[in-house]
Structure 1
Amino acid sequence: MACPSLLVAIRRGLRALRIWRAVLTLIIFVWWDARHWTYPGGCTSERRQARQTIRARWLTTELLQLGSAFIKLGQLLSARPDVLPVQWVSELADLQDKVPAFSFEQAQILLEQELGDRCAEIIDLDDQPLAAASLAQVHRASLRSGRQVVLKIQRPRLERLFRLDLQIMQQVAAVLQRHPKWGRGRDWVGIAQECRRVLLRELDFRVEAQYAARFRQQFLDDSRIRVPAVVWELSTRRVLCLDYLPGIKVNDLDALLKAGIDPSAVAELGAASYLQQLVRFGFFHADPHPGNLAVAPDGALIYYDFGMMGLLSDSLRRRLGSMIRAAAARDAAALVEELQAAGLIAYGIDVGPVRRLVRVMFQDALTPPFSANVIEKLSGDLYELVYGQPFRLPVELIFVMRALSTFEGVGRSLDSGFSLMAIAKPYLLPLMTSSGSGPNDLFNELGRQVGAIGSRAAALPRRLDESLERLEQGDLQLQIRMGESDRQLRRMISVQKALGQSVLLGSLGIAAALLGASSRPIWAVLPLVAALPVGFGWFKLQIKLGRESRMDHLSSQSR
């Protein structure tokens, strides 16, 4: 009895070592890439971006090799541009969990375990899966009633491996959180806990069945949007049975044209359906890669895979209306206030740089005439804005923008006149009212703002009188902020210290070489020992200078 337990313990240990090896390799890469002297020919933004792209591809490959839980982790992290650089987010966004299928015999065994006598309802099960992913694979089947269905069958022994991997993820998150630099401003433990909650929920196909039924209910009256119905009597925790709805992949442009379907109309329909999900229902598909979208022969849009769904609260939807009003008015200060009220920007920080970056976004992405890839540009600006800053973007908003970008790209590929902003207008107008429920609310909001302006105007003479009185009494102080000059001065001091330490390190190295060549080479140890604290201080200064260089680069982009 001890042998199986020992084998399990060995497998768990080897799995933990494999994961920690990947984590430590990633940490070494991050440390190495932050050093300016590791870039031959000097550290430029182009060289840094090129290396970041290489690292992001390496991380994607590692996640694929680590298996199901880490593939899903990568997909979730692709919606966190506040904790990962832009190149990493873009690469992980393309992470598709296509893995080899497991055997048909295993699929039959699991069906029998889950369905029992109900397996008799399935009279024709294809032995070749339609698709295979990290969590499950899909087989087409026929029921005794003649109904054509698909069966989503979970991979064998998946939950046990998931729980082990998630436990190790928690340990990695705890280590990162304790680090003085990487843990600052980022809740790695909270992210790991959220990933655990989402991934374990996705293992329960009964939850996905409820999501699919709710999503289908939203579009029952719209013949242009089709969602497969759930066969409840053949759905369990590890098996999901849905109607079979075949179609052409949404990004297969040649097949769409051959079938006489206008891809631009498909892109318009998809973008409109997503806006409807966001504005009208607040419940939307959150895994919008082209593999989960198809087009029926009559041009209707078909949705698949409902494991990841997003939900926007009523309060956030109302806050979105205020954000859209501020963006339409190009009021950067008001938009920043709304972002703070929504919890997307931390309070108690200097919002000046944030306001400048928002103005850049207004100028580049939201200035008519709108460019064809407005969502792609807006997403890029948004990712640049939030990384390393006190932002907390809702994951749901990232998935929505990614979905709209997918349809924007399809429409742009065949129709140069395709405009997502024109499609969005009728859906954004309801949000521009205070509650999104009627046009009268807009007038109520305008009345409230006029009243607020009137109150401020009425109080203006009193405030002027108080300020003049304080000025006469000498109580009024003028505080001048010299943040930019102070930062440059601190950087000059750091550079001077680094230069002095470099000279000292060079001198100690020369002394060690001379003593090593003398008749008593043992004395060469002394300058080497003395060089250790100097070298440690030099490395800390390089880290500090690298961080200040990134801040200067960000500030220069915002001007």
Structure 2
Amino acid sequence: MLLRPLRIWWLALALLLGLWWDGQAWSYVGGVTPERQRSRQRRRARWLTQAFLGLGSAFIKLGQLLSARPDVLPAELVEELATLQDRVPAFPFAVVQDLLEQELGGRCAEIIDLESEPLGSASLAQVHRASLRSGRQVVFKVQRPGLERTFRLDLEVMQQVAAAVQRHPRWGRGRDWIGIAQECRRVLLRELDFRLEAEHAARFRQQFLDDPGIRIPAVVWELSTRRVLCLDYVPGIKITDRQALIEAGIVPAAVAEKGAASYLQQLVRFGFFHADPHPGNLAVAADGALIYYDFGMMGQLSSRLRGRLGSMVRAAAGRDAAGLVKELQLAGVIAPGVDPGPVRRLVRVMLEEALTPPFSANVLERLSGDLYDLVYGQPFRLPPELIFVMRALSTFEGVGRSLDSGFSLVAIARPYLLPLMTSSGGSGSGVGGSANDLFNEISRQAAEVGSRALGIPKRLDDSLARIEQGDLQVQIRAGETDRLLRRLALAQQAAGQSMLLAGLAVAAALLAVSARPALVIIPLLASLPVGLSWVKLQGRLKRDGRIDQLPTSR
């Protein structure tokens, strides 16, 4: 335990120095290229994933949470951490039995057959199948012993690291590392309480109680505690096992559509969704029903975001990039004061990609990549729940394509999004209410346009009078032009410093072969601040140029 804080500090320092090194153009032998940058970042991502796995449970969960923060980590790290799954060996069966006795006491008498071989083993717990005296078939999710003590130690060190990084003048600028650490602490400690997962499972099951095509295990409350969770045993075929589904007489295309539809229901109708629907947490029952497992990571769309969802869908359907960006600003997705030009450009491309047939097979995966490139190093913030939504939809898109080559998530989504186009909140109040809402919105916009049109002649007359009097001043501000001018100025500074460094190098070489070689120290010392300034300018040029790599049109 004494060495563990040192390991965590060493990992944090190695990661920060590695990210700094990756961002320096001069660190690439043969010159920096986008391909070399991505290759190095992929290696860095694999190294970090292995380091998190080596540190155990808390860091596996931390990696999964950080994978929802593309604004603080490069895209390659985010994508690699998103694949971080619990791959840890099982702990002894005798420990499982002891823990059940500690947690359940006399209620253990209800268990008549507990299988020693676990169905699965993860960083937080492992799962064992059992039979109860009533004949009910269940599974027990049993927490690893001593986990809470390790979690609290790791989280305390993480907060110390976050505080140190926040004080750094460069690494702390524009990012709330302390806030991120506190949020991770809150989420991870909550996940140690299996009673909360039981509540999530019960709420999620209630949402689909009337849908025979969706199956969620019921909670056995009397055998569930803080460290033990008991659920009904619901066996099924792994959702990605296409051959087994066909042999069972199940149509894979129907399974793909059912999975996508169920997730869209979670988002549009309920706002409470499964945040980790990887193939290991999805199965198909013998009758074709879709089964969800593991309710430790659940998400909920904020009321602010849900309240503007209808307006976002309407703007997207009309391919109104400016209107959609405005709605994103009102929903708090885009931070105040951000230049909306680059965001609007990306949104326009995304709308063309997503809404123009024929639909690309991996449209969500590519859109996620564009979004990650946009937000890293910029003041553009994405709510974590939105990242989880995009990742889950992308997962369903991949699963759907593996089951049905003609699968289109966009086509399936349309019936669920149409009600949002005619109502503001997504729940609606019937067809008549939706039609009235749409009519009222059109009437309001028509009145607004008419009012502005009537005022145009007077405004033109006023403007012409001011021009004649010489009183009209025109101020033009173009965000992208400002950025290009800033980059030009930085490039000129870098070029000047490069020439100065070259001159100092020549002076040092001449002095080294002169009669007084000791004087070579003068140009060498003078070159140090110039060299450091040149390195900083290269970093600023790279950051400013990142956003310009986005395509302007198709």
Q: Is the 8 A contact 1:511 1:527 kept in 2?
A: no
Query: Residue type matched to 2:331 in 1?
Result: A
Query: Residue type matched to 1:174 in 2?
Result: A
| From 340, 346, 353, the counterpart of 2:329 | 340
For residues 351-430 of structure 1, the aligned pairs below 5 Å read 351-430=340-419
- How big is the shift at 1:307? 0.9
- The separation in 2 between residues aligned to 1:182 and 1:366, in whole angstroms, is 38
- The separation in 2 between residues aligned to 1:548 and 1:314, in whole angstroms, is 34
Moved more, 126-135 or 484-493: 484-493
Aligned to 1:506: 505
Q: Is the 8 A contact 1:131 1:139 kept in 2?
A: yes
Would the alpha carbon gap of residues 312 and 74 (structure 1) be closer, same or farther in structure 2, given more than 3 Å must change? Answer: same
For residues 139-538 of structure 1, the aligned pairs below 5 Å read 139-432=128-421, 433-436=423-426, 437-438=428-429, 439-440=434-435, 441-481=437-477, 482-507=481-506, 509-510=508-509, 513-514=512-513, 525-538=521-534
Would the alpha carbon gap of residues 542 and 422 (structure 1) be closer, same or farther in structure 2, given more than 3 Å must change? Answer: closer
Q: Secondary structure at the match of 1:221?
A: coil
- How big is the shift at 1:210? 0.6
Would the alpha carbon gap of residues 51 and 319 (structure 1) be closer, same or farther in structure 2, given more than 3 Å must change? Answer: same
Identity %: 70
Q: Secondary structure at the match of 2:308?
A: helix
Query: Residue type matched to 2:506 in 1?
Result: S
- The separation in 2 between residues aligned to 1:521 and 1:107, in whole angstroms, is 75
Q: Secondary structure at the match of 1:145?
A: coil
Moved more, 371-380 or 506-515: 506-515
Q: Is the 8 A contact 1:501 1:538 kept in 2?
A: no
Moved more, 488-497 or 99-108: 488-497
Q: Secondary structure at the match of 2:129?
A: strand
- How big is the shift at 1:525? 4.6
Moved more, 524-533 or 154-163: 524-533
Would the alpha carbon gap of residues 531 and 379 (structure 1) be closer, same or farther in structure 2, given more than 3 Å must change? Answer: closer
Q: Is the 8 A contact 1:271 1:420 kept in 2?
A: yes
Aligned to 2:549: 553
Query: Residue type matched to 2:236 in 1?
Result: G
Moved more, 444-453 or 126-135: 444-453
- The separation in 1 between residues aligned to 2:74 and 2:465, in whole angstroms, is 51
Summarize deviations over 1:174-196 as a string: whole Å, max 9, x none: 22222233322222211111111
- How big is the shift at 1:414? 4.1
Cα RMSD over matched residues? 2.1
- How big is the shift at 1:314? 3.7
- The separation in 2 between residues aligned to 1:279 and 1:388, in whole angstroms, is 31
Q: Is the 8 A contact 1:265 1:411 kept in 2?
A: no
Q: TM-score, normalised by structure 2?
A: 0.93
Would the alpha carbon gap of residues 206 and 488 (structure 1) be closer, same or farther in structure 2, given more than 3 Å must change? Answer: closer
Q: Is the 8 A contact 1:205 1:238 kept in 2?
A: yes
- How big is the shift at 1:369? 2.1
Moved more, 246-255 or 386-395: 386-395
Moved more, 387-396 or 420-429: 387-396
- How big is the shift at 1:500? 2.3
Aligned to 1:71: 60
Aligned to 2:75: 86
- The separation in 1 between residues aligned to 2:512 and 2:182, in whole angstroms, is 53
- The separation in 1 between residues aligned to 2:459 and 2:542, in whole angstroms, is 46
Query: Residue type matched to 1:412 in 2?
Result: R
Q: Is the 8 A contact 1:278 1:284 kept in 2?
A: yes
Q: Secondary structure at the match of 1:183?
A: coil
Q: Secondary structure at the match of 1:31?
A: helix
- The separation in 2 between residues aligned to 1:545 and 1:191, in whole angstroms, is 28
Would the alpha carbon gap of residues 537 and 410 (structure 1) be closer, same or farther in structure 2, given more than 3 Å must change? Answer: closer
- The separation in 1 between residues aligned to 2:261 and 2:509, in whole angstroms, is 70
- How big is the shift at 1:388? 2.6
Q: Is the 8 A contact 1:288 1:399 kept in 2?
A: no
Q: Secondary structure at the match of 2:425?
A: coil
Unaligned runs of 5+ in 1: 1-10
- The separation in 1 between residues aligned to 2:44 and 2:391, in whole angstroms, is 22
Q: Is the 8 A contact 1:270 1:301 kept in 2?
A: yes
- How big is the shift at 1:102? 1.0
- The separation in 2 between residues aligned to 1:86 and 1:536, in whole angstroms, is 27
Query: Residue type matched to 2:424 in 1?
Result: S
Q: Is the 8 A contact 1:125 1:139 kept in 2?
A: yes
Q: Secondary structure at the match of 1:142?
A: strand
- How big is the shift at 1:120? 1.1
- How big is the shift at 1:522? 6.0
Would the alpha carbon gap of residues 480 and 316 (structure 1) be closer, same or farther in structure 2, given more than 3 Å must change? Answer: closer
- The separation in 1 between residues aligned to 2:246 and 2:43, in whole angstroms, is 36
- How big is the shift at 1:319? 0.8
Q: Is the 8 A contact 1:434 1:442 kept in 2?
A: no
Query: Residue type matched to 2:499 in 1?
Result: G
Unaligned runs of 5+ in 2: none
